[in-house]
Structure 1
C-alpha cells in the first residue's frame, strides 16, 4: 500500500510517499480502507521536531482516519465487515499511521458513522471535535462570556458553535483575516476580532461589554497567550490547550494572581476513556448528521500531496479541517 513516511525532521518536503506492506488485523482488530485521513497542526510541529513530544523515526504520521472495514481479526463480530467507521488512532496502542491507504485498529475503538456523515467530516470530529467538546465541558461556558482563539480553525470553528449551544452569554471569536472573521460570525459568534492588530485585546474587552471575558480558550499559545490575558476579566479563567507553545513568564503569572485569575491546563488524551470516547464521538457525529453542528472544510489533498497540506497549515492558510484522500 501507499503511505506517507517521515524519516527525518524538517520542512514539508521531508514527507515522502512510500510503498509499505498492507497491515494485517490481529485478534480483536479490524482493517480499515482509509477514505479520509485528518491533518492536524500538531503534526506540522511534530514533523519539524517542535512539538512537546519527539516521535521515533521512521514513522507514518496521522492519528485519525475514516473509512470502510475490509477485514476482521480473530474474534471480531462479523457484522462489522463492510461498515463505515471512524478510526481514532490517537486513542489506540498504535497512535499513528493514518496517512496511508489502510490502517488497523482495535474493533472496540472503531466507531460507526451515520449514513449521512461523510468520511471527511468524520475526521474533523475526532481530535478537533473532541478537543472542542471537552474544552466546553471542562470549563463550561453557560452564562459566561468567552473568547475563542483561532476561531476559524478546526477546533475553534467547532468550539464557537458548541459554546453557543452550551449557553454562553457572549462568544467572541479571534482570527487573523476578514474572511476568517466572517466565517466565525456565520457560525454564530456574537463578535469577531482581528488578532493581527496590536490593539485586539482592547477590542475584545469592548466586545465583551463588561471589561473582559470570563473564559479564554487558548488553542494557539505563544505570544497570543500573554495578549489574551489583557482581555480576561478579573477572576476570569484562561484555559490553555496549546501543548508545547508556552509563553507565560513570572510577570504574567503575578498579574494573574493579582487579578484572582486562574490558569487551567487542557490535555485531551487523559480524558479519553474508551466508553466515553465512543459516546462523545457518536454525539458529535449525530449533531453534524442532524444539521445542528457545522464542519468547516479547510482543504482536501491527495495522499501524495501531504507536503502541500502541511504547508497550508504551517502558513495559517486553512480555515477548518484539512484532509488527505488516499
Structure 2
C-alpha cells in the first residue's frame, strides 16, 4: 500500500516519507479499512514535530482521524461489516500506524458507521474536531434554554461546537480574532460573535446576555481566558476545556470559582471513558443526520503532498479542517 510515515521527529519536510509499505492484516477483533480520507489535526503535527516527546515506535504513520470502507475483518468480527462506510477514532493514539495510508487495521469498535449524508472528507473530521466539540457541549447534560460560550469559534472544534449547541436549543456566543473568522463563525450559526481583540470582551458578553452571563463555556484557551470567564460565568456554570496553550500553567482562583459553584471539566478526547465515548459517538452520528450541519473542510491534499498538509496546519492560517485525500 501507499503510505506516509516518519522514523524520527522534526520538520515535516525533513522527516515525512511517502512510499510503499506492506498492507496490514486484521487481527482478532479487528477490521481492515480501505481509507479514502485522513484528517490532519494540530495534535498530529505536534507529535510529528516532537512536541509530544520521543517516538514510541520505530516507524509511525500519522493521523488519528480518517474515513473509508471496511474491506476485511479478523476473527470474532461480524463479516457483515464488510462494505460498511466508516469513520475512525484514535487511529494513531497509542498505536504506531494511523490513517495516513491506503489501509489501516484496528479494533472494530474504532471504525464507526459513517452516516449516508456525510462524505469521506467530512468523515475524517469526526474523530477529533466533532467529537471534542460534542463532549464539550453535552458532557454536563442538555443545553436547551441555556447560554453557551464557545471560545475560538472559527476553529475546527469551535465551528462544530457552535452548531451542536444551537441544534441542542442553546443561545450561542463565540469569540474570534478577526473579520474573516467572524464571518466563518456566523456561518455556523452563532447568535453573537465577539472579536476578542477589540474592546472589553467580558463587558460585551454581559451586554449580549443582559447582564446574566453564560451557563457553559466550551474553552480552547483555559488559562488565557480565565480572567474573562470568571466575570461572565453564571453560578453553577461549567467550563469544559480542551486546551490552554497560551498559558499552560494558569493560576487557579480557587475561592472565587468555588463560591460561584463552578464545575471545571478538563478533557482529552483521546481518553474518554467507555460510556463517554459511546455517548459521543452516538451524539455525533445523530447530529450528522441534520441537514444544517456544515463541515468546514478548508483545504485538501493528495497523499503524496502530506508534507504540505502538515505545513498548512502549522501555519495557523487555515480556517477549518485540513484533509488528505487518499485515491
- 1:180-202 per-position Cα deviation (integer Å, ceiling 9, x unaligned): 21122222211111233463343
Match for residue 196 of structure 1?
197
Match for residue 156 of structure 1?
158
Of stretches 101-110 and 155-164 in structure 1, the one that deviates more from structure 2 is 101-110
Given the two structures, how large is their TM-score scaled by the length of structure 1? 0.85
Whether the 8 Å CA contact 1:89–1:96 is kept in 2: the answer is no
Whether the 8 Å CA contact 1:91–1:272 is kept in 2: the answer is no
CA distance in 2, matches of 1:6, 1:201: 44
Alignment of 1:248-267 (within 5 A): 248-250=249-251, 252-253=253-254, 255-257=256-258, 261-267=262-268
Match for residue 284 of structure 1?
284
Whether the 8 Å CA contact 1:38–1:64 is kept in 2: the answer is yes
Relative distance call for 1:15 and 1:187 in structure 2 (3 A) is same
Whether the 8 Å CA contact 1:91–1:269 is kept in 2: the answer is no
CA distance in 1, matches of 2:182, 2:149: 13
Please report how far the alpha carbon of residue 80 of structure 1 lies from its aligned counterpart in structure 2 after TM superposition: 2.2
Given the two structures, how large is their TM-score scaled by the length of structure 2? 0.85
Relative distance call for 1:226 and 1:318 in structure 2 (3 A) is farther
Relative distance call for 1:233 and 1:278 in structure 2 (3 A) is closer
Match for residue 317 of structure 1?
317
Aligned to 2:47, what secondary structure does the other structure show?
helix
Match for residue 27 of structure 1?
28
**Structure 2 residues not aligned, in runs of 5+:** none
CA distance in 1, matches of 2:191, 2:8: 44
Whether the 8 Å CA contact 1:89–1:95 is kept in 2: the answer is no
CA distance in 1, matches of 2:309, 2:139: 31
Of stretches 316-325 and 30-39 in structure 1, the one that deviates more from structure 2 is 316-325
Match for residue 217 of structure 1?
218
Whether the 8 Å CA contact 2:165–2:172 is kept in 1: the answer is yes
Please report how far the alpha carbon of residue 157 of structure 1 lies from its aligned counterpart in structure 2 after TM superposition: 0.9
Please report how far the alpha carbon of residue 153 of structure 1 lies from its aligned counterpart in structure 2 after TM superposition: 1.8
Please report how far the alpha carbon of residue 237 of structure 1 lies from its aligned counterpart in structure 2 after TM superposition: 3.1
Whether the 8 Å CA contact 2:91–2:106 is kept in 1: the answer is no
Aligned to 1:143, what secondary structure does the other structure show?
coil
- 1:72-105 per-position Cα deviation (integer Å, ceiling 9, x unaligned): 3234333222222222234987375111111012
Relative distance call for 1:231 and 1:307 in structure 2 (3 A) is farther
Of stretches 309-318 and 230-239 in structure 1, the one that deviates more from structure 2 is 230-239
The number of equivalent residue pairs is 323
Relative distance call for 1:46 and 1:254 in structure 2 (3 A) is farther
Alignment of 1:5-44 (within 5 A): 5-13=5-13, 14-44=15-45
Aligned to 1:89, what secondary structure does the other structure show?
coil
Aligned to 2:56, what secondary structure does the other structure show?
coil
Match for residue 165 of structure 1?
167
Please report how far the alpha carbon of residue 295 of structure 1 lies from its aligned counterpart in structure 2 after TM superposition: 1.8
